[in-house]
Structure 1
């Protein structure tokens, strides 16, 4: 299987190693001075950014190291705006943090179903697309989506799918079914799964032959019983670090996103990724401005910067997720564009679905999952 290999001019760090190399805590990281580290370079794309009239600060709430190695420093150099990035580990955590009121974030990165949920809760600002001209770089198929028609509240950042990352030398055969994680003691004590309630219940639904969007309260009850039965065989409900557990040998199989596994496949030839035969869930992570953002003009400028082709290329080289930015993808090498882990074949994607936000079911997922975790 083809994987990306970093060359000497573009050393790729894992999602967590960037933070570790900076010695930064995962609660608030300022990248104001990053542009000045190492040899001087012009900002990668984007050009100089006109002053917005706001104080030169921006608070960014993001997944762990889900950004290029120099992106925030480059933005500082182009705009004079100091970005403070704070990290979250799940959409549930993001939503809970903002539900009681925005504590000061300007740009956030919710997944597609949580965009729907936050719009329904009046938590997002309608975007001024005139202030985001780089929207022209986005592939047209990502522009009019069911969860945000016309992209009124969100801009696409990545798309992704969930599957099984595994260590080839530790499995008897390719683990091509959710059964190995959800309904078997074959790899007891050697597996890790997600800590996000909705994703877990929907993927169990896929295993049972259902659509991720068709679960009923009775299904939740049945799946909860399956989860409780399986729990003794699970080593960890991971917090956005499943790829690290696999790379370090702490587990041999993990439910993870394809981009995270693609990252560690570039470091360890014994690691692979499979989309289970029952199908999976697609996600799209997005860039949004929450209500109460203290720097909305800076936020628009930042989102526009991230959608620049050269800027997104550098982000994509680091995080190795599928990009919806057609202009950036065109700049990427063939071993990215043709990587079947990053871009699964059409017949596999045909069995995958985007989740929609269901206000009738989300509380049931969360309440049941809390009981599973406490059992």
Structure 2
């Protein structure tokens, strides 16, 4: 286990914490054993929030704390499948924090209740592109089940002093021989296969045909010969890029932010095949009870002030457009979010992958990694 793993859990980014939690769980360490932040005075009857570790930072719900005299009652999950299973087994919470690409399953299992848009104080300030993602509203558009909150990108961070970008493309991590042995890829099947599919022009990268997967597999074999390593802890790519061992890597916004703060000459690529954008948000579990408190919490989490903290401290995007005007241009530039509207027109929003296809993607990726 890397020495900085616990630091990632305590203060890392959205995706750092999720990967770290899985690693901690693998050695029998639960979030309850980790002191995250100083405890504030308790509210008389706090809302219960089921989320990822690290989102209990009181700065993210300052309006709720001010109104109710204390923070929510937080509990944590390691991944959204675990969270859904626990809710279906009867776990009672007022608010949960899944992601948009989970929502087809969450809605389909009846785990969540519709959202009353009239109670969302900041709804008019939300990025329009995030309001109606697939699976988050009913097919007729009359019921909303998901309030977008945090979002971010996956793309290529590269050393501007070592890489010449002739045409921005994911190919730099797959078959660009100029940088053989100097690039790194995220150690996960679906992203690797989907990006290969995008490079090759697959019709739907989230539901590729067997023939398209076969073509993608050939490109994955080329990638295996190109990469220095596949990473699961993003501090390894940050160290590699800082030292010059790596010149490019699959990365999230927050890595770009940290490297920029360190003075490393890096940029975040906008590939012609599209960045990959995740969106997570808030839902009302079917068995929740404190609806008034739940909406107070949702409104606090989606305020512009909270968004400024997310951008400046957590290194991720926020649903409230106004928050982007509350941080410096340098911060937005370092996150690759200087023009979110233009970026979201070109990006690929992640969505659910059929279980059969997901298994196939993982099988192909693992076989290629093993030398097959």
Normalising to structure 2: TM-score of the pair? 0.71
What is the correspondence of 1:292-331 to structure 2 with a 5 Å cutoff? 298-331=293-326
Cα distance in 2, alignment partners of residues 148 and 213 from structure 1 = 17
Structure 1 residues 247 and 234: alpha-carbon distance in aligned structure 2, compared to 1, 3 A threshold = closer
Q: Which residue, out of 141, 159, 172, partners 1:167?
A: 159
Moved more, 112-121 or 197-206: 112-121
- TM-aligned CA deviation for residue 334 of structure 1: 4.2
Cα distance in 2, alignment partners of residues 298 and 374 from structure 1 = 50
Which structure has more RCO (C-alpha within 8 Å, separation ≥ 6)? 1
Report what 1:19 is aligned to: 11
On the 8 A contact 1:33/1:73 being kept in 2, the answer is no
Q: Which residue, out of 249, 255, 264, partners 1:254?
A: 249
Cα distance in 2, alignment partners of residues 245 and 110 from structure 1 = 30
Normalising to structure 1: TM-score of the pair? 0.71
Q: Which residue, out of 81, 86, 90, partners 2:71?
A: 81
Cα distance in 2, alignment partners of residues 130 and 179 from structure 1 = 45
Moved more, 104-113 or 267-276: 104-113
Q: Which residue, out of 223, 229, 232, partners 1:238?
A: 232
- TM-aligned CA deviation for residue 237 of structure 1: 3.1
Cα distance in 2, alignment partners of residues 160 and 236 from structure 1 = 21
**In structure 2, the residue corresponding to 1:305 is in which secondary structure?**
helix
Any unmatched runs of 5+ in structure 1? Answer: 1-14, 37-48, 89-93
**In structure 2, the residue corresponding to 1:133 is in which secondary structure?**
coil
Structure 1 residues 328 and 189: alpha-carbon distance in aligned structure 2, compared to 1, 3 A threshold = same
Report what 2:360 is aligned to: 364
- TM-aligned CA deviation for residue 255 of structure 1: 0.8
- TM-aligned CA deviation for residue 337 of structure 1: 5.7
Cα distance in 1, alignment partners of residues 167 and 55 from structure 2 = 27
On the 8 A contact 1:61/1:109 being kept in 2, the answer is yes
Indicate the structure with greater helix content.
2
Structure 1 residues 371 and 344: alpha-carbon distance in aligned structure 2, compared to 1, 3 A threshold = farther
- TM-aligned CA deviation for residue 121 of structure 1: 4.0
Report what 2:24 is aligned to: none
Q: Deviations over 1:71-126 (max 9, x none)?
A: 367755653234446464xxxxx243235333856644443322234323444443
- TM-aligned CA deviation for residue 351 of structure 1: 4.0
Q: Deviations over 1:291-327 (max 9, x none)?
A: 5568766544322211122222222221343333123
Structure 1 residues 119 and 34: alpha-carbon distance in aligned structure 2, compared to 1, 3 A threshold = same
Moved more, 121-130 or 343-352: 343-352
On the 8 A contact 1:68/1:317 being kept in 2, the answer is no
2:101 equivalent to 1:113? yes
2:59 equivalent to 1:70? yes
Cα distance in 2, alignment partners of residues 306 and 128 from structure 1 = 16
Cα distance in 1, alignment partners of residues 304 and 236 from structure 2 = 29
Report what 1:33 is aligned to: 38
**In structure 2, the residue corresponding to 1:101 is in which secondary structure?**
helix
Report what 2:149 is aligned to: 157
2:169 equivalent to 1:177? yes
Cα distance in 2, alignment partners of residues 153 and 222 from structure 1 = 37
Q: Deviations over 1:331-358 (max 9, x none)?
A: 3344456778213587765543324434
Structure 1 residues 299 and 368: alpha-carbon distance in aligned structure 2, compared to 1, 3 A threshold = farther
Report what 1:58 is aligned to: 48
What is the correspondence of 1:347-362 to structure 2 with a 5 Å cutoff? 350-359=345-354, 361-362=357-358
Structure 1 residues 153 and 374: alpha-carbon distance in aligned structure 2, compared to 1, 3 A threshold = farther
On the 8 A contact 1:67/1:319 being kept in 2, the answer is no
Structure 1 residues 119 and 245: alpha-carbon distance in aligned structure 2, compared to 1, 3 A threshold = farther
**In structure 2, the residue corresponding to 1:98 is in which secondary structure?**
helix
Q: Deviations over 1:39-67 (max 9, x none)?
A: xxxxxxxxxx9x7x85x3634422x7578
